[in-house]
């Protein structure tokens, strides 16, 4: 409580005075009023100073604001955390370490688009315990050269590393079973080994990876999606394991450096524009093939030889268009009646001895 001894004195003087001097009483009242105003003003200042001191010491006002230390945003589900973004990440920050726990919750996932367009990041380290990388999570991190993926990781979703143009290689953990759509499209990958256990390469997974020179496919692979390697102009050779039974259209279109390919014995057809625009020199189709798609081998300027087994009963239009050096060898004594008159696009044919 605020008080002043002068107030007490004035009050006693006023009470004890018994005369009729009105002027003196007025002087005493004015003095009391002035003293009260001064005391009240001083009490207000003391209250403000106390409030300011509390605010300065409140830790909630400074959390995450020291230097350029990143503050990770997250969501909680079933007592597990999904990182959804980051703040306080300065332009001079080139290395980011994602924590394994946030506020006591284990980090199990990186959310969709959580770190996309972080163009200054060069290296990212992800924690053990992480299981999922969401769609477009690191897309357009154009300076990213190194990312450490934990052994606990089982799922990388669509476009996660798209347009990471400085990312030349990374090690995929053994728990991955699918490479999703556009996962690495237009990235800077030069080589990659797909681990055993992966069964699917979805559409456009490596599309536009112009620097990709080599890729190793696992014996567990079952299918390859459309445009999977479209535009991988540095890819020189590829071995499609015999486990693969399904390959969709335009798989290697525009792979101009592709000169060697091993076809799976499990494939039953050559899809549309399968090797269009490649540098392939010769190819022998396996006996499992029953059909050749439209423009399957079109615009292959270096293709000199192609063998067609007796099992092929359908050939699409323009399958051998603009192949100036090509000679086709048939296993049969004549072309199948279903192929049409210009099935060979005017290229010379060597006939075999087998009959339909």
Q: Which class for 249: exposed (0-12), middle (13-18), buried (19 or more C-beta within 10 A)?
A: buried
Q: What is the mean pLDDT of the chain?
A: 86
Closest alpha carbon to 187 in 168, 170, 202: 168
CA distance 134 to 110: 6
Q: Return the pLDDT at 103.
A: 96
Q: How confident is the model at residue 355 (pLDDT cuts 50, 70, 90)?
A: confident
Q: How confident is the model at residue 32 (pLDDT cuts 50, 70, 90)?
A: low
Both tokens of residue 154?
A: 């089982």
For residue range 222-236, what is the model confidence (pLDDT) as tens digits? 999 999 999 999 999
The CATH class for the domain spanning 69-167 reads alpha beta
Q: Where are the domains of the chain?
A: 5-61, 69-167
Pick from 12-21, 55-64, 99-108: least confident: 55-64
Q: Return the pLDDT at 92.
A: 86
Q: How confident is the model at residue 99 (pLDDT cuts 50, 70, 90)?
A: very high
Compare 43 and 264 and report the one with higher pLDDT: 264
Both tokens of residue 161?
A: 């590393």
Residue 290 has pLDDT above 50, yes or no: yes
Average pLDDT over residues 171-189: 98
Q: How confident is the model at residue 271 (pLDDT cuts 50, 70, 90)?
A: very high
Q: Return the pLDDT at 68.
A: 59
For residue range 322-348, what is the model confidence (pLDDT) as tens digits? 999 999 999 999 999 999 889 999 999
Closest alpha carbon to 98 in 127, 57, 69: 127
């Amino acid at each position: 409580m605020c008080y002043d001894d002068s107030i007490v004195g004035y009050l006693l003087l006023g009470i004890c005075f018994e005369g009729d001097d009105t002027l003196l009483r007025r002087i005493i009242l004015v003095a009391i009023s002035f003293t009260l105003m001064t005391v009240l003003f001083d009490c207000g200042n003391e209250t403000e100073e106390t409030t300011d001191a509390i605010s300065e010491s409140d830790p909630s006002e400074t959390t995450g604001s020291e230097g350029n230390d990143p503050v990770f945003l997250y969501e909680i589900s079933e007592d597990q955390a999904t990182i959804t973004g980051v703040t306080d990440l300065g332009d001079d920050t080139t290395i980011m370490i994602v924590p394994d726990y946030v506020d006591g919750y284990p980090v199990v996932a990186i959310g969709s688009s959580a770190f996309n367009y972080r163009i200054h990041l060069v290296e990212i380290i992800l924690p053990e315990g992480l299981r999922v990388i969401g769609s477009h999570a690191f897309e357009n991190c154009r300076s990213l050269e190194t990312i450490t993926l934990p052994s606990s990781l089982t799922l990388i979703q669509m476009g996660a590393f798209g347009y990471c143009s400085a990312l030349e290689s990374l090690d995929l953990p053994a728990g991955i079973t699918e490479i999703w759509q556009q996962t690495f499209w237009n990235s800077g990958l030069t080589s990659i080994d797909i681990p055993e256990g992966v069964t699917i390469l979805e559409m456009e997974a490596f599309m536009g990876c112009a620097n990709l020179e080599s890729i190793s496919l696992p014996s567990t692979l079952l299918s390859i999606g459309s445009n999977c390697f479209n535009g991988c102009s540095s890819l020189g050779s590829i071995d499609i394991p015999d486990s693969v039974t399904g390959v969709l259209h335009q798989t290697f279109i525009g792979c101009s450096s592709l000169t060697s390919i091993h076809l799976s014995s499990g494939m039953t057809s050559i899809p549309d524009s399968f090797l269009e625009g490649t540098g392939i020199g010769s190819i022998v189709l396996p006996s499992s093939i029953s059909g050749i798609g439209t423009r399957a081998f079109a615009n292959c300027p270096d293709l000199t030889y192609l063998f067609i087994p007796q099992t092929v009963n359908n050939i699409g239009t323009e399958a051998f268009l603009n192949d100036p050096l090509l000679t086709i060898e048939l296993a049969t004594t004549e072309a199948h009646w279903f192929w049409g008159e210009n099935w060979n696009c005017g290229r010379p044919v060597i006939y075999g001895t087998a009959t339909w």
